[in-house]
Amino acid sequence: MIQVQDIHKSFGSLQVLRGADLTIQSGETMVILGQSGGGKSVLLKIIAGLLSQDQGSVSIDGRKRDDMNEEEGLQLALRFGFLFQGAALFDSLTVGQNVTFALRRFTSSSPSQLRDIAEERLSWVGLRGIQDKKPAELSGGMRKRVGLARAVATDPAFILYDEPTTGLDPISADAINDLILSLKARLKVTSIVVTHDMTSAYKVADRMALLFEGRIHETGTPAQIQASSSPVTQQFIHGRAEGPIKFL
Protein backbone atom coordinates (compact mmCIF):
# COMPACT_ATOMS: atom_id res chain seq x y z
CA MET A 1 0.00 0.00 0.00
CA ILE A 2 1.20 3.52 -0.79
CA GLN A 3 0.12 6.41 1.44
CA VAL A 4 0.70 10.00 0.43
CA GLN A 5 0.09 12.47 3.24
CA ASP A 6 -0.08 16.25 3.07
CA ILE A 7 2.50 16.61 0.28
CA HIS A 8 3.65 20.17 -0.48
CA LYS A 9 6.09 21.01 -3.22
CA SER A 10 7.20 24.35 -4.68
CA PHE A 11 9.65 25.27 -7.41
CA GLY A 12 10.83 28.78 -6.59
CA SER A 13 7.71 30.85 -6.11
CA LEU A 14 5.49 28.35 -7.95
CA GLN A 15 3.48 26.19 -5.54
CA VAL A 16 2.74 22.95 -7.38
CA LEU A 17 1.42 20.73 -4.60
CA ARG A 18 -0.42 22.18 -1.61
CA GLY A 19 -1.27 19.29 0.66
CA ALA A 20 -1.97 16.28 -1.56
CA ASP A 21 -3.33 13.20 0.26
CA LEU A 22 -3.85 9.86 -1.45
CA THR A 23 -3.94 6.18 -0.51
CA ILE A 24 -3.34 3.45 -3.10
CA GLN A 25 -4.37 -0.01 -1.94
CA SER A 26 -2.27 -3.07 -2.74
CA GLY A 27 -3.07 -4.56 -6.11
CA GLU A 28 -5.19 -1.68 -7.38
CA THR A 29 -4.57 0.61 -10.31
CA MET A 30 -4.99 4.25 -9.34
CA VAL A 31 -5.20 6.79 -12.14
CA ILE A 32 -4.24 10.36 -11.23
CA LEU A 33 -5.96 12.87 -13.48
CA GLY A 34 -5.30 16.57 -13.79
CA GLN A 35 -4.36 19.41 -16.08
CA SER A 36 -1.04 19.54 -17.88
CA GLY A 37 1.38 21.35 -15.59
CA GLY A 38 -0.87 20.68 -12.61
CA GLY A 39 1.65 18.63 -10.62
CA LYS A 40 0.67 15.03 -11.48
CA SER A 41 4.14 14.01 -12.65
CA VAL A 42 5.70 15.85 -9.71
CA LEU A 43 3.53 13.82 -7.32
CA LEU A 44 4.47 10.60 -9.13
CA LYS A 45 8.18 11.46 -8.91
CA ILE A 46 7.84 12.21 -5.20
CA ILE A 47 6.22 8.79 -4.71
CA ALA A 48 9.07 7.18 -6.69
CA GLY A 49 11.70 9.05 -4.64
CA LEU A 50 12.98 11.03 -7.62
CA LEU A 51 11.98 14.35 -6.04
CA SER A 52 11.80 15.27 -2.38
CA GLN A 53 8.76 16.97 -0.96
CA ASP A 54 8.93 20.23 1.00
CA GLN A 55 6.41 18.95 3.54
CA GLY A 56 4.42 15.77 4.17
CA SER A 57 5.32 12.10 3.81
CA VAL A 58 5.14 9.08 1.53
CA SER A 59 4.80 5.64 3.15
CA ILE A 60 5.34 2.37 1.34
CA ASP A 61 3.78 -0.65 3.04
CA GLY A 62 3.65 1.33 6.29
CA ARG A 63 7.25 2.63 6.24
CA LYS A 64 7.97 6.28 5.62
CA ARG A 65 10.37 6.83 2.73
CA ASP A 66 12.17 9.59 4.64
CA ASP A 67 13.02 7.19 7.49
CA MET A 68 14.92 4.85 5.18
CA ASN A 69 18.72 4.94 4.86
CA GLU A 70 20.46 4.94 1.47
CA GLU A 71 20.76 1.15 1.25
CA GLU A 72 17.08 0.68 2.11
CA GLY A 73 16.20 3.35 -0.45
CA LEU A 74 18.10 1.42 -3.15
CA GLN A 75 16.40 -1.84 -2.17
CA LEU A 76 13.04 -0.08 -2.33
CA ALA A 77 13.84 1.29 -5.79
CA LEU A 78 14.11 -2.30 -7.05
CA ARG A 79 10.52 -2.91 -5.89
CA PHE A 80 9.35 -0.09 -8.15
CA GLY A 81 9.08 -0.03 -11.92
CA PHE A 82 8.77 3.37 -13.60
CA LEU A 83 7.64 4.05 -17.14
CA PHE A 84 8.75 7.53 -18.17
CA GLN A 85 6.80 9.76 -20.52
CA GLY A 86 9.55 9.58 -23.16
CA ALA A 87 10.57 6.04 -22.09
CA ALA A 88 14.03 7.36 -21.02
CA LEU A 89 15.90 4.43 -22.56
CA PHE A 90 19.68 4.61 -22.33
CA ASP A 91 20.84 5.67 -25.83
CA SER A 92 24.25 4.06 -25.51
CA LEU A 93 22.88 0.60 -24.66
CA THR A 94 21.02 -1.94 -26.78
CA VAL A 95 17.38 -2.79 -26.12
CA GLY A 96 18.41 -6.01 -24.36
CA GLN A 97 20.92 -4.17 -22.15
CA ASN A 98 18.27 -1.58 -21.30
CA VAL A 99 15.76 -4.24 -20.26
CA THR A 100 18.21 -6.16 -18.07
CA PHE A 101 20.04 -3.07 -16.74
CA ALA A 102 19.14 -3.65 -13.07
CA LEU A 103 19.56 -7.43 -13.29
CA ARG A 104 23.08 -7.06 -14.70
CA ARG A 105 24.01 -4.84 -11.77
CA PHE A 106 22.31 -6.64 -8.90
CA THR A 107 22.23 -10.33 -9.81
CA SER A 108 24.86 -12.80 -10.91
CA SER A 109 22.89 -13.97 -13.96
CA SER A 110 25.00 -15.18 -16.86
CA PRO A 111 24.86 -13.37 -20.23
CA SER A 112 22.71 -16.15 -21.73
CA GLN A 113 20.30 -16.02 -18.77
CA LEU A 114 20.07 -12.24 -19.19
CA ARG A 115 19.26 -12.64 -22.88
CA ASP A 116 16.53 -15.15 -22.02
CA ILE A 117 15.04 -12.80 -19.42
CA ALA A 118 15.18 -9.85 -21.82
CA GLU A 119 13.49 -11.92 -24.54
CA GLU A 120 10.76 -13.01 -22.12
CA ARG A 121 10.05 -9.47 -20.87
CA LEU A 122 10.07 -8.15 -24.43
CA SER A 123 7.61 -10.87 -25.44
CA TRP A 124 5.29 -9.67 -22.64
CA VAL A 125 5.11 -6.31 -24.40
CA GLY A 126 4.81 -7.85 -27.86
CA LEU A 127 8.37 -7.23 -29.03
CA ARG A 128 10.55 -10.16 -29.96
CA GLY A 129 13.90 -10.28 -31.69
CA ILE A 130 14.88 -6.66 -31.17
CA GLN A 131 17.39 -7.13 -28.33
CA ASP A 132 20.35 -5.99 -30.36
CA LYS A 133 18.75 -2.84 -31.73
CA LYS A 134 19.56 0.59 -30.31
CA PRO A 135 16.71 2.79 -28.94
CA ALA A 136 17.25 5.29 -31.79
CA GLU A 137 16.11 2.60 -34.26
CA LEU A 138 12.69 2.23 -32.59
CA SER A 139 9.40 4.11 -33.04
CA GLY A 140 7.84 6.07 -30.15
CA GLY A 141 5.39 3.27 -29.35
CA MET A 142 8.11 0.62 -29.42
CA ARG A 143 10.30 2.71 -27.13
CA LYS A 144 7.45 2.95 -24.62
CA ARG A 145 6.98 -0.80 -24.74
CA VAL A 146 10.71 -1.39 -24.21
CA GLY A 147 10.52 1.07 -21.31
CA LEU A 148 7.72 -1.03 -19.90
CA ALA A 149 9.74 -4.24 -20.35
CA ARG A 150 12.59 -2.57 -18.44
CA ALA A 151 10.20 -1.42 -15.72
CA VAL A 152 8.98 -4.99 -15.09
CA ALA A 153 12.36 -6.72 -15.44
CA THR A 154 12.87 -6.97 -11.68
CA ASP A 155 9.32 -8.24 -10.98
CA PRO A 156 8.37 -5.06 -9.14
CA ALA A 157 5.57 -4.77 -6.59
CA PHE A 158 4.67 -1.27 -7.79
CA ILE A 159 4.61 0.17 -11.31
CA LEU A 160 4.37 3.90 -11.89
CA TYR A 161 3.32 5.14 -15.32
CA ASP A 162 3.97 8.77 -16.29
CA GLU A 163 1.68 9.71 -19.20
CA PRO A 164 1.94 6.25 -20.79
CA THR A 165 -0.16 7.09 -23.87
CA THR A 166 0.93 10.68 -24.53
CA GLY A 167 2.32 11.20 -28.01
CA LEU A 168 1.03 7.88 -29.35
CA ASP A 169 -1.55 7.26 -32.05
CA PRO A 170 -4.89 5.86 -30.75
CA ILE A 171 -4.08 2.28 -31.71
CA SER A 172 -0.64 2.32 -30.07
CA ALA A 173 -2.19 4.05 -27.05
CA ASP A 174 -4.79 1.30 -26.72
CA ALA A 175 -2.07 -1.34 -27.04
CA ILE A 176 -0.28 0.31 -24.09
CA ASN A 177 -3.55 0.27 -22.11
CA ASP A 178 -3.90 -3.45 -22.81
CA LEU A 179 -0.32 -3.98 -21.65
CA ILE A 180 -1.02 -2.14 -18.39
CA LEU A 181 -3.98 -4.44 -17.78
CA SER A 182 -2.10 -7.62 -18.75
CA LEU A 183 0.89 -6.75 -16.54
CA LYS A 184 -1.46 -6.11 -13.64
CA ALA A 185 -3.04 -9.54 -14.15
CA ARG A 186 0.34 -11.25 -14.61
CA LEU A 187 2.33 -9.61 -11.81
CA LYS A 188 -0.48 -8.63 -9.37
CA VAL A 189 1.15 -5.23 -9.03
CA THR A 190 -0.02 -1.99 -7.47
CA SER A 191 -0.04 0.64 -10.21
CA ILE A 192 -0.28 4.40 -10.40
CA VAL A 193 -1.01 5.90 -13.80
CA VAL A 194 -0.68 9.64 -14.37
CA THR A 195 -2.59 10.80 -17.41
CA HIS A 196 -4.97 13.34 -18.88
CA ASP A 197 -6.16 10.83 -21.48
CA MET A 198 -9.70 9.97 -20.33
CA THR A 199 -10.06 6.99 -22.68
CA SER A 200 -6.97 5.41 -21.18
CA ALA A 201 -8.04 6.36 -17.64
CA TYR A 202 -11.46 4.68 -17.93
CA LYS A 203 -9.92 1.56 -19.40
CA VAL A 204 -7.15 0.89 -16.85
CA ALA A 205 -8.40 2.45 -13.59
CA ASP A 206 -9.74 0.65 -10.56
CA ARG A 207 -10.01 4.06 -8.92
CA MET A 208 -9.30 7.59 -10.09
CA ALA A 209 -8.09 10.72 -8.31
CA LEU A 210 -8.41 14.24 -9.69
CA LEU A 211 -5.58 16.63 -8.79
CA PHE A 212 -6.74 20.24 -8.77
CA GLU A 213 -4.96 23.29 -7.38
CA GLY A 214 -2.26 21.13 -5.78
CA ARG A 215 -4.65 18.89 -3.82
CA ILE A 216 -6.59 15.71 -4.53
CA HIS A 217 -10.02 17.10 -5.33
CA GLU A 218 -11.91 13.83 -5.56
CA THR A 219 -11.29 10.07 -5.66
CA GLY A 220 -13.58 7.25 -6.72
CA THR A 221 -14.18 4.41 -9.14
CA PRO A 222 -14.59 5.39 -12.80
CA ALA A 223 -18.39 5.09 -12.34
CA GLN A 224 -18.32 7.31 -9.23
CA ILE A 225 -16.17 9.89 -11.00
CA GLN A 226 -18.50 9.95 -14.00
CA ALA A 227 -21.48 10.45 -11.69
CA SER A 228 -19.72 13.14 -9.63
CA SER A 229 -21.66 16.28 -8.82
CA SER A 230 -18.47 18.37 -8.61
CA PRO A 231 -18.28 21.03 -11.37
CA VAL A 232 -14.49 20.67 -11.35
CA THR A 233 -14.66 16.92 -11.97
CA GLN A 234 -17.38 17.28 -14.59
CA GLN A 235 -15.45 19.99 -16.44
CA PHE A 236 -12.30 17.87 -16.50
CA ILE A 237 -13.80 14.53 -17.54
CA HIS A 238 -15.84 16.20 -20.29
CA GLY A 239 -12.92 18.36 -21.43
CA ARG A 240 -14.77 21.70 -21.35
CA ALA A 241 -12.81 24.97 -21.57
CA GLU A 242 -15.43 26.83 -19.53
CA GLY A 243 -15.70 26.15 -15.81
CA PRO A 244 -13.85 26.42 -12.49
CA ILE A 245 -10.62 24.95 -13.94
CA LYS A 246 -8.71 27.77 -15.60
CA PHE A 247 -6.47 27.21 -18.62
CA LEU A 248 -2.81 27.12 -17.39
Residues in contact with other proteins by the rule CB under 8 A: 45, 48-50, 74-75, 77-78, 80-82, 84-86, 88-91, 101-102, 105-106, 150-151
- In angstroms, give the least distance from the CB of 210 to other proteins: 25
Q: Which residues pair with 57 in a beta bridge?
A: 5
Distance, in Å, from the CA atom of 164 to the CA atom of 46, rounded to the nearest integer, reads: 18
Distance, in Å, from the CA atom of 171 to the CA atom of 165, rounded to the nearest integer, reads: 10
- In angstroms, give the least distance from the CB of 157 to other proteins: 14
Beta strands 55-60; 2-11: pairing state: antiparallel
Measured from the CB atom, the residue of 75 and 123 that comes closer to other proteins is 75
What residues contact 211, with CB distance under 8 A and at least 6 apart? 20, 32, 33, 34, 38, 39, 40, 43, 217
Write the DSSP symbol of residue 247: P
- In angstroms, give the least distance from the CB of 88 to other proteins: 4
- In angstroms, give the least distance from the CB of 184 to other proteins: 19
Measured from the CB atom, the residue of 89 and 189 that comes closer to other proteins is 89
Closest CA to 131 of 86, 161, 97, 160: 97
Measured from the CB atom, the residue of 12 and 239 that comes closer to other proteins is 12
Measured from the CB atom, the residue of 101 and 212 that comes closer to other proteins is 101
